[in-house]
Amino acid sequence: MRLFVSEGAPGSLPVLAAAGRVRGRAELLISTVGPEECVVPFLTQPKVPVLQLDSGNYLFSTTAICRKQNL
């Protein structure tokens, strides 16, 4: 899984806290991107935080990202 966050983006702090709890239980790459950087190819507006799953799907909801990381 790959987590994209941006400094100052709403929702980044809770997903980073959840990422800290998942360390060692799952492979998670954390990437810090600029607020205007588009990390999801099919979106015209940048959106972070976003979790890219191993399947290639994306989660955009902060709550869903935190739940997925706690599994």
For 11-62, how does the pLDDT look when each residue is reduced to its tens digit (9 = 90+)?
889 999 888 887 777 788 999 998 778 888 888 887 889 999 999 999 999 9
pTM: 0.84
pLDDT reported for residue 64: 92
Q: Where does the pLDDT of residue 70 fall: very low under 50, low under 70, confident under 90, or very high at 90 and above? A: low
Q: Which residues of 1-39 are buried (b: 16+ CB within 10 A; e: fewer)?
A: bebbbbeebebbeebbebbeebeeeeebeeeebeeeeeb
